[in-house]
Amino acid sequence: MDSDLKELARLACPAAEFGLDDYEGIYPPRHIPYGAKATRLAPSPTGFIHLGNLYGALADERAAKQSNGVFILRVEDTDDKREVAGAVEMLIDSLLYFGVVFDEGEISGGGIGEYGPYRQRQRVSLYHAAARRLIENGYAYPCFCSPEDLAQTRAKQQELKQNPGYYGIWATHRDLPSNEAIELIKAGNPFVIRLKSYGDSSKYFSIEDGIRGKLTMPQNTNDIVLLKANGIPTYHFAHVVDDHFMRITHILRGEEWLSTLPVHVQLFEAFEWDHPVFCHTALMMKMDGPTKRKLSKRLDPELSLEFYKDLGYHPLAVKEYLMSLLNSGYEEWRIANPGLPLEEYPFDISNMGSTGALFDLDKLNDVSKNTLATLPAGDLSELLVSWAKRANPDSIKILESSKGYLDKIFAIGREGANPRKDYVYATQIFEFIKFFFDEYFEMEDGLAGNMPKQNALALLMGYLETYDFNDGKDQWFKKVVELGEANGYVAKPKEYKKNPDAYNGHVGDVSAVIRLALTGRKHSPDIWEVSQAMGKDRVVGRINSFIDKYLA
């Protein structure tokens, strides 16, 4: 090898502690079963964790876990301007909230695993070793162009209607003799390391995408930056080196990386490495009126994962919904297997959609209703309490000391083949059930227009006389019917309709008064079940106080 190139590589990439071949030994191929997938989530620690991250993470996690592989968290912190303190912890917490757990990587406040460190800024030695290899083999070179030089080039390219970029005749330092480059570095001139692209813009290459199938794209011709002037790699370079040395088998990432895929493929080739299977996932879209558009940080609060935590969605509901976006067969599977955990679904990367995943909050809410209806009552109590800690601290004391009561409340209508589907997310659940608590109880509705006060009074006084907490549902209802009949309310609404002048009303009017006194509302779940949850004292107390306040 040209000894000048070796010298140049050493000078240009001073941080390499080992040779690239040593790293092959330091990071040996993984001992995972044949066909197992090693996947990674590679977020930049910008502090904004969004639905797209969770969507991707869930796909990574499913693909890894289902094949007995590994799921890794790598922090891509090469852009320190965008870094937010505590972002990694926030990300881990957020994903943990949704039950997405990493096997390896930058977790639990440090790197766990044999392929670390897992923060890119701590892997600079490796990137420099890798860049040295490319320089030595003629696939990379130092470029001394200043930002002003580059701006000038851009302006000229614009004027001549040429493609922008650093390539071909525009690549000023591409063919600079090594000895001159060495002198410039020694003299302290700032420089970046660029790829010396060997692509031909008139030629195409093909690659099999794990989601999109065969892609045919023009070769890359751009001498993109590999190491910035501060010696830190760009995403393009770092991810290639890391995905190789972390022995990643499948790169799941957003479709925004498709356009630079030719660069990445060329880099793998330059190193003579096999590349992992690239899998470009679809962007999250939503309907905005009649048009479909990308979910936007500025316009759509539902893009942020905090949105779901603040409203108190059950993590399982969000996951269930995302599974249906990830694989179109999921919904059908769920209907056929209502009792199975989602982990048993045979998730398949190749079944992921390649056109925008259409996110729809109404659909999520439907899925959530169904999911919550299948959970044990105690899980809803826990959901509510943990949401309150985060979003409704005033209620926390009451809720936390009422776990048994909450369990009874959530048990209402939960038995049987068709459980009630009242609950969507904790904020809504809290509104739905708050009448159970004296601290929050208020009259939200009033007596119906066809219920004179004196009739209501007579009915409620009569109700109190015969009310027995130990009555079963049928016995209770029988008494309500009798109470109605004694006060001119016929048992069958049909009878009343046929002959309205003969009665004050029907049994539905009677139960409406009881419901109003107990719940302050026109609508509620079954009164007998509500009363059983409330307990005798609260039932009697509510009715007495309704009489005192509104009927006396």
Q: Which stretch binds ligand GLU (CB under 6 A): 40-48, 129-137, 177-185, 261-269?
A: 40-48
CB-wise, 235 or 440, nearer to ligand GLU? Answer: 235
Q: Which stretch binds ligand GLU (CB under 6 A): 39-47, 285-293, 324-332, 517-525?
A: 39-47
255 neighbors 281 (Cβ within 8 angstroms): yes
* Backbone phi and psi for residue 214, each to the nearest 5 degrees, phi listed first: -70, 125
- In the chain the first and final C-alpha atoms are separated, in Å, by 103
Which residue intervals of 375-468 are DSSP H helices? 377-391, 396-400, 403-411, 426-433, 453-466
Q: What is the per-residue DSSP string for 209-259?
A: ETTTEEEEEEPP----EEE-TTSPBPHHHHHHHHHHHTT-SEEEEEGGGGG
Please give the C-alpha separations between residue 108 and each of 65, 102, 113, 343, 388, in angstroms, as whole numbers: 19, 10, 12, 24, 26
Q: What is the per-residue DSSP string for 69-120?
A: -EEEE-B----GGG--TTHHHHHHHHHHHTT---SEEEETTEEESSS---BG
- CB of 216: closest distance to ligand GLU in angstroms? 22
252 neighbors 39 (Cβ within 8 angstroms): yes
The 140-143 sheet, strands edge to edge: 140-143, 192-195, 225-227
CB-wise, 49 or 460, nearer to ligand GLU? Answer: 49
Count of residues interacting with ligand GLU (CB under 6 A): 8
- How far is it, in rounded angstroms, from Cα 511 to Cα 509? 6
User: Does 39 sit near ligand GLU (CB under 6 A)?
Assistant: no
Q: Which residues touch 363 (CB under 8 Å, ≥6 apart)? A: 321
According to DSSP, residue 294 is labeled: E
- The residue among 36, 43, 66 whose CA lies nearest residue 254 is 43
According to DSSP, residue 283 is labeled: P
- CB of 60: closest distance to ligand GLU in angstroms? 9
CB-wise, 61 or 76, nearer to ligand GLU? Answer: 76
CB-wise, 239 or 286, nearer to ligand GLU? Answer: 239
- CB of 399: closest distance to ligand GLU in angstroms? 38
- CB of 87: closest distance to ligand GLU in angstroms? 11
Half-sphere exposure of 461 (CA within 13 A, CB side): 11
Q: Which phi-psi region, left, alpha or beta, contains residue 196 (left: φ > 0; alpha: ψ -120 to 50)?
A: beta
CB-wise, 54 or 251, nearer to ligand GLU? Answer: 251
Q: Which stretch binds ligand GLU (CB under 6 A): 42-50, 93-101, 159-167, 218-226?
A: 42-50
- CB of 56: closest distance to ligand GLU in angstroms? 7
Site for ligand GLU in 176-235 (CB under 6 A): 235
CB-wise, 235 or 432, nearer to ligand GLU? Answer: 235
Binding mask 44-63 for ligand GLU (x = CB under 6 A): x-------------------
Q: Which stretch binds ligand GLU (CB under 6 A): 36-44, 108-116, 289-297, 418-426?
A: 36-44
- CB of 358: closest distance to ligand GLU in angstroms? 21
Site for ligand GLU in 509-528 (CB under 6 A): none
- How far is it, in rounded angstroms, from Cα 410 to Cα 59? 32
- How far is it, in rounded angstroms, from Cα 240 to Cα 508? 70
- How far is it, in rounded angstroms, from Cα 14 to Cα 8? 10
Q: Which stretch binds ligand GLU (CB under 6 A): 38-46, 207-215, 279-287, 542-550?
A: 38-46
Residue in 5, 38, 42, 54 binding ligand GLU, rule: CB under 6 A: 42
- CB of 75: closest distance to ligand GLU in angstroms? 9
Q: Which stretch binds ligand GLU (CB under 6 A): 41-49, 96-104, 412-420, 463-471?
A: 41-49
Residue in 61, 76, 106, 223 binding ligand GLU, rule: CB under 6 A: 76
- CB of 57: closest distance to ligand GLU in angstroms? 10
Tell me the three state secondary structure of residue 65.
helix
Residue in 5, 9, 13, 43 binding ligand GLU, rule: CB under 6 A: 43
CB-wise, 247 or 506, nearer to ligand GLU? Answer: 247
Residue 397: Cβ within 10 Å count: 11
CB-wise, 51 or 512, nearer to ligand GLU? Answer: 51
Residue in 119, 253, 264, 314 binding ligand GLU, rule: CB under 6 A: 253
CB-wise, 282 or 539, nearer to ligand GLU? Answer: 282
Quote the tokens at residue 65: 């876990």
Tell me the three state secondary structure of residue 68.
coil
- CB of 138: closest distance to ligand GLU in angstroms? 27
Residue in 128, 239, 264, 506 binding ligand GLU, rule: CB under 6 A: 239
By CB under 6 A, name the binding residues for ligand GLU: 42-44, 76, 235, 239, 251, 253
